[in-house]
Structure 1
C-alpha cells in the first residue's frame, strides 16, 4: 500500500476492460458469417450478442460489491480467467446453441471484471487527477465500441468468424500478467449480499428481454399454454418494479443504494449512459447487414465504412479528456448526443441500394465527433461526487445501466428489423416475407434490394430517437462541486492519498 503506481495500474486494467467491451460489438460484423457457418436464422444470431449482454448486465449489481468484499484485484483476475476460457469455448462452438451458452459464460466473466476497473480508478487516484483517469476510462469504452467491428471484419475475412473469439486468448494472458504485476491489492470492506434483489432484478430483466426479442417469432401471441409474449414482458416489468421497492425497504445492504441517486449528476449520467448503451449496440446491425447484403461488401470493407468513427474518436479523446475537469459537462455531452442522433438520421435518409459509398462516410465522421464528446464527460461526471467507499456500488450501478441499455437495444433492434423486413419485402403465397428465402450471405436477389434497404434505414430511426432522450437528460447536468470528503485537509481514501505521489 505504500508504493501504489496509479497510471501503470490504470493501463493494465484498461487492456482487459477494452477486451470485454470489444466483445459487445465485434460480433456485429460477423453475424452474416455466423448465420451461414452455423446454418441458423437471424434471431438466433442476434441472441449471440443478447446472451452476452444479458449475462454481463444482470450480475453487475453484485459483482461491484464482490470487489469491495474480496478485493477488486482478486475478482478482476477471476473474471479475466473465466472470460478468456469462455472465449476459447466460443471459437470451438459447432452449433448456435453452444455458441450462445459460451457467450453467456463470457458475459459473466466480463461482469466480474468491469466494475473493478472503475472502482480501482476511484480508489487509487487522488481527487485532482481522478477526472483525467476516468476520462481515459470513458474514452476506452467509446473507442472499443468502434474498433470492435473493424477488428472483427479483418479477422472474419482473414481467418473465419471463430477468430473474433480466439484473438482474446493472447490478450487475456497479457492482461492477466500485467494486472498481477501492476494493480495493487486494496483494503476490503465487509458487505452483505441481497440475494432476493439479485433474483428479482435478474428474472425481471431476462423476461423483458426475452419477450421483446422473441415477440416477432411468436407473432406477439401465445408461446406455450397460458404463457404469452406480453405476459412475459409485463411480468418482467412488475418484477423490476418490485426490485426497486425491495431496495428501498430492505433492512440489509441493498444492491442499489438509492441514496446514490441524490447526487444529481450521478442520476443524470445513468439515464444518459442507458441511451448511449442502447444506441451504440443497436446502430451497427442494420448498417452491417446493408453493407454486406445489399452492397456486397466483405466484413472488412463493411467495417471500414465505420472507420472514421474510430479515427476521429481516438484523435479527439486526449483533447476531451483534458477538458472534462475544466468545463461544464453538458457543454460537451449535449452536443455529442445531438450529433449522435444527427448521424443516424443522416444514415436513414441516405441509404439507398446504389448511393456512392463515399457519401456514407459523412455520417461516420459525425459519429466520431459524437463519441469523442460523449463517453468521457458522462463517465467522469457520473462518479465525481461519490466518496471512495461507495466506488464499487456506484460503478456497479453505472455499468449496469449502460449494459441494460445495450441489452434492450439489441433486443429492440432485432424486433424492429424483422418487422420492417416483413413490411417492406414482398410476400410469398403462404404469407411469409421473402426475407426467409435467402441466407444473408450476399445472395439477396436484386429485386429485393430496395425493400431491404428501406427496412434497414427505417430501423436506424429507433436509436436516433432514443439518443435524443439522452441529450435532453444531459442538459440537466450541473457543474461538479468539490464534495466535503475532497476538500483540502480532509481524509480522502488512503489509497488516493498514497497515489498523490508524482506520476509514475
Structure 2
C-alpha cells in the first residue's frame, strides 16, 4: 500500500514537473512574439519622442527581426553542442537585460542597438523552445505541445497592440519594454527549475562549431532580409544588389559546408523529403499569412472605409482565431496523425484564400472576417502538424539546429510576404500611391493578392502530397521493408 501511495505521489510530481516545464517553454514562445507586435504599435510615439523620421524608427523593428533571422539557425546548433538548457537560460537573461536597456535608452540609436541584442536573446529562445518538446513530453503528446506553443505565439502577437496602447497611454513607452522584466525572470526561474538538465556529454567544443559557415549564413540571411525590407516597397538598385549578394552567399555557404569537417548544416539532411518539404511549406504558408497582415489594413480602410480603431479590431481576429485553435489543433494532430492534419490545414487555408477574392466588398466586415478566420485556423492546424512532423524523428543532437531552421523558414516567409505580396497588391491596384487609391483599385489589389496566395497554398499542398509519396517510396525500398 505504501509503495502504491509512493508511486501515485511520484506520478503526480512528474506530471506537475512536465506542466511547469511546458509553462516555461510557453512563456519563452510568448515573449519574442509579444516584443515584435508591441513595438510596432509604439513607432509613431517613438518617432515623436526621438524627433525621428518613420524610416529611422522603423529600424527599432528591423534590428530585432534581423537579429533573429540571421542567428536563429546558428544558436540552435550551438545549443546542441554546449547544452540547450544552459544556452536557453543565457538567452532568457540576455533578452530580459536587453529589454531593460531598451526602456532606459536615452537615444534612438542606443534603443536600436538594445533591440538587436534583444533579438539575439529572442532567437535563442525561439530556436530552443521547440527542441525541448521531445525531452519534456511523451511522444504521443507532441502535437498537443506544439499546438500550445503555437497558441502562445499567437497570443503574444494578438496581445501586443492592445497592451502597447495601454502602456503608451499610461506609464509611457518605456513600459512596453519593462513588461518583459518580471515575465522574463519568471520564465528563467521555471526553466532553471523544471527543464531537463543538459546531458553530461554536452560541453563546449569550439572545434566542432562551424565558425565560417555561421558567418556566411548570417551574412547571406542579412543580405536577403535587407533586400526584402529596405525601400518600403520600391525595389531599387540597392535591393537588387543585396538580393544578388544573398544568391552568391547561398552558393558560397553550400561550398563551405561541403568542405567543412564539422559543418553547421549537413547538406545531406535536405535529401530527407519530410524535412525539405516541411521547411518549404512553412515558408510558403507564412508568406500568405503575412499577406493578411500587409494587405488587410489597406483593404479595411480603403475599400470598407473603417476607422483606425475598427481596423485594429478586425485585424485582431486572425491572432485570436490562431490562439483559440492552437491547442485543439495539436490534439487533432495527436489523434489523426501529422500528415493528414497538414493536408487538412493547407486545404482550409487554400479555401479561405480562394474565397476572399470572390467576396464582394458590399458584404463588408463579415465578408472579410469569414475567409480570414478560415485561413488562420488552417494555418494553426498546419503549424502544429508540420512542426510535429519535422521534429518527430530528429536525433537529440540535432534538435536545436532543426528547430532553428524551422523558425528560420517562418521568418523568411514573413519577410518575403511583406515585400512580395505587398508588391503584388500595389501592382493589382494599379495605383502609384496605394494610400490614396480609390476603393475599386484597392479591391482589385486585394483580389490579385489572395489569388496569388491561394496558388501558393496549392503549391504547398502539392509539396505535402509529393513528399509523402516519396517518403513511402524510400521506406518501401529500404532493406527489410517487405519482411
State the match for 1:82 in structure 2: 94
C-alpha change, 1:90 and 1:449, in structure 2 (3 Å) is farther
CA distance in 2 between partners of 1:31 and 1:355 (Å): 33
1:58-69 alignment runs, 5 A limit: 58-69=70-81
State the match for 1:17 in structure 2: 29
CA distance in 1 between partners of 2:101 and 2:298 (Å): 26
C-alpha change, 1:360 and 1:153, in structure 2 (3 Å) is farther
Alpha-carbon displacement from aligned partner over 1:332-356 (angstroms, at most 9, x marks no partner): 223323433444555556696x874
Alpha-carbon displacement from aligned partner over 1:459-486 (angstroms, at most 9, x marks no partner): 84465554443333233453999xx9xx
CA distance in 1 between partners of 2:437 and 2:405 (Å): 44
Normalized per residue, which structure has more helix? 2
Aligned pair 1:177/2:193, yes or no?
Answer: no
Bigger shift: 57-66 or 288-297?
Answer: 288-297
Aligned pair 1:297/2:308, yes or no?
Answer: yes
Bigger shift: 102-111 or 406-415?
Answer: 406-415
Q: 1:384 Cα shift?
A: 0.7
Normalising by structure 1, report the TM-score: 0.76
Q: 1:137 Cα shift?
A: 3.0
Aligned pair 1:207/2:197, yes or no?
Answer: no
State the match for 2:202 in structure 1: 189
SS at match of 2:335: coil
- Asked if the contact 1:56–1:107 (Cα under 8 Å) also holds between the matched residues in 2, the reply is yes
State the match for 1:429 in structure 2: none
Q: What is the CA RMSD across the aligned residues, in angstroms?
A: 3.7
Aligned pair 1:257/2:247, yes or no?
Answer: no
CA distance in 2 between partners of 1:256 and 1:289 (Å): 40
Q: 1:238 Cα shift?
A: 0.9
Normalising by structure 2, report the TM-score: 0.79
Q: 1:67 Cα shift?
A: 1.8
- Asked if the contact 2:104–2:174 (Cα under 8 Å) also holds between the matched residues in 1, the reply is yes
More relative contact order, 1 or 2 (CA 8 Å, 6+ apart):
1
Alignment gaps of 5+ in structure 2 = 1-10, 476-483
SS at match of 1:256: coil
Alpha-carbon displacement from aligned partner over 1:208-262 (angstroms, at most 9, x marks no partner): 22223335687623xxxxxx442221121111122123223322x2111234334
Length, aligned pairs only: 452
CA distance in 1 between partners of 2:259 and 2:371 (Å): 47
SS at match of 2:85: helix
State the match for 1:489 in structure 2: none
Alpha-carbon displacement from aligned partner over 1:381-401 (angstroms, at most 9, x marks no partner): 111122223222222222222
1:294-443 alignment runs, 5 A limit: 295-298=306-309, 301-344=310-353, 356-412=364-420, 423-425=430-432
1:88-107 alignment runs, 5 A limit: 88-92=100-104, 97-107=109-119
C-alpha change, 1:24 and 1:310, in structure 2 (3 Å) is same
State the match for 2:8 in structure 1: none
CA distance in 2 between partners of 1:35 and 1:455 (Å): 33
